[in-house]
Amino acid sequence: MNGLKTSALAIGVALGCASFGTEAAAQDCTTKIGAVLPTSVDWGKPIAATAQYAVDIANETGGVAGCQIEMVLRDTQVDPKVGVDAAKALVDLDGVQLLLGAVSSGVSMPILTSVTVPAGVMQMSCCSSSTAFTRLAEEGKTNGLFFRTFATSGVQAAVGAMVARDAGYESIAVFYKNDDWGQDIGGLIAKDFEALGIEVTAQIAINDAQASYRAEVTEALKGNPQAIYMALYPDEGTQVVREWISLGGTQNMIAANALKSDEFKENVGMEFLGSFIGTDTASPRTDSASAFVDAYTARFDGPPSGPGLPNSFDATMIALLAMHAAGEGATGTDIAAKVGAITDPNGTPVTADATGFAQAKEVLDGGGTVSYQGATGNVQFDANGDVSAPAVTWVFGADGIEEQKYISLTEVNDFMNSLQ
């Protein structure tokens, strides 16, 4: 466990190892779960490693429903076709009933509609934020099989509008990735800007893997905006910003969390990012969230600074506890039906460590429910599998990504209501 010994959470892991090592050693069965995550990109590797970290904690307590867990990981390459093929292989060949992922909404959506829902497999995403999932659930088309520990795009869109308002920008051009996620957040933030009286001079769709985005940038420059907003991933974001700066565009930039990447910072250059402000959802300021940071830092020799890491941890822990509650041989539908027993606000509070995982299993085995207290706080899902969350703004600093401002859940909700 790489010397996990300094935090309360880590102590729990150590206790879990001591208490449950005999049970784990006696096991002779393994249950596979699937994970479809973008490990070929720099910000995707830590998300997958964090999911594996949660699996390791579960296994240290004796596993799930009497068996050790093997997480079979496949790379999506942030590509819908690759992601669907990976998910099909995990479901059809490996027989998984639980699938973790994906990250991009544009990858998660086709996996949900063409793989997991038809197969009756539960899908738990750490990081997909499109409101299209909410609408699909409201229409009864997810069959209750989809959950996500990341708040919807509406939160980041609202916070991006808040940043523009506070900066005094009167006109903004919006660049968005031409997929489910980008179209969703791009449309939401344009409405939020307009609700604040900020002119949206252009809404420019950015497609994957073009040789150049000069035509798109030239079109956006025609409106002479005071700032730009970007809902892009690092590859396209880097190229758009380079073109934008080279053609004389402003350095006033606001961006969604997909650009929370050292790769993006290094490829663009800090000299061009002095007026850049990013947004992200955030973990609440709770003891459980702080304990996760301490334990993660000890495990990985550094704090969780990339996007989606607390969400990945909680998604995996909750899904595994639901699998335990569902019992040996559970189907995806069985597992999904037990998520409420893990996130019951009236259940027994359990911590997100080996001791808490073991305690949760004991309570669940006795017919009780638990209230999981994790890296993103006291997780609770609504009827559509959605969660709410606080938010942060962040900037690129010389030593990495630096939090600029924390915005509480109450502040986020009040501001979103004011935009209606």
**pLDDT attached to residue 325:** 98
CB 137 within 8 A of CB 384: yes
Task: Count other Cβ atoms within 10 Å, centred on residue 216.
Answer: 21
CA distance 177 to 204: 9
pLDDT tens figures, 272-311: 999 999 999 988 899 999 999 999 999 999 999 888 999 9
Among 408, 413, 407, which Cα is nearest to 166's? 407
At which residue do the structure tokens 């409101």 appear?
131
Contact assessment for residue 106 and residue 80, using Cβ atoms and an 8 Å cutoff: yes
Number of H helices, E strands in the chain: 17, 15
Which residue carries 């819908």 as its tokens? 80
Q: What does the angle CA 226 – CA 231 – CA 236 come to, to the nearest 5 degrees?
A: 100
What DSSP letter does each residue of 150-204 carry, written as one string? S--HHHHHHHHHHHHHHHT--EEEEEEESSHHHHHHHHHHHHHHHHTT-EEEEEE
d(CA 44, CA 192): 29
Q: What is the dihedral sign for C-alpha 336, 378, 63, 308?
A: positive
Measured distance CA(413)–CA(155) in Å, rounded: 8
Write phi, then psi, for 122 (nearest 5 degrees): -75, 135
Contact 181, 104 (CB under 8 A): yes
Cα 14 from Cα 396, distance rounded (Å): 35
Peptide bond before residue 102 is cis, with ω within 30 degrees of 0: yes
Which residues of the chain are under the pLDDT cut of 50? Answer: 1-26
Contact between 342 and 318 (Cβ < 8 Å): yes
In the numeric block, the tokens 């950015």 are attached to 206
Gap between the Cα atoms of 59 and 363, Å rounded: 18
User: Please, where are the H alpha helices in 68-149?
Assistant: 80-92, 105-111, 117-119, 132-138
Instruction: Assign domain 153-274+393-418 to its CATH architecture.
Output: 3-Layer(aba) Sandwich (3.40)
**Per-residue confidence (pLDDT) for residue 24, from 0 to 100:** 41
- CATH code, 8-150+284-378: 3.40.50.2300
Boundaries of CATH 3.40.50.2300 in the chain?
A: 8-150+284-378, 153-274+393-418
In single-letter form, the type of residue at position 65 comes to A
CA nearest to 54, candidates 229, 235, 286, 296: 296
